[in-house]
Amino acid sequence: MTTTMNISLPDSMKAFVDQRVKARGYGSHSEYLRDLVRKDEIEAAKDALRALVAEGLASPPGREWGEFKAELVARAEQHRAVRHPPQSEA
């Protein structure tokens, strides 16, 4: 679904857009503006990723993989023992 949006530009910006549409082979002003928005969406995603990386770098250190894995294995074995207790032979 598409929606129509009207924008107002000063003459100098309109001339710039006209020049870019012609020089870059866009089929219309709308095509040019959609491309600009797509590029800005990509930049916004990069900004969000950079923020997440910065947050991760600023966070306290995590545990070593071996320690974490050992805890997970112990929890899994404990869970298995509760759900499937050993059968006593009669």
Element (H, E) at 84: none
Count how many domains the chain has.
Answer: 1
pTM for the whole thing?
A: 0.64
Asked if residue 19 belongs to a domain, the reply is no
Asked if residue 15 belongs to a domain, the reply is no
Helix, strand, or coil (residue 25): coil
Asked if residue 5 belongs to a domain, the reply is no
pLDDT of res. 89: 66
For 42-54, the pLDDT digits (tens) are: 999 999 999 999 9
Domain holding 76, by residue range, is 24-83
For 2-27, the pLDDT digits (tens) are: 899 999 999 999 999 999 999 999 99
Asked if residue 31 belongs to a domain, the reply is yes
The pair of structure tokens assigned to 5 is 């949006």
Asked if residue 79 belongs to a domain, the reply is yes
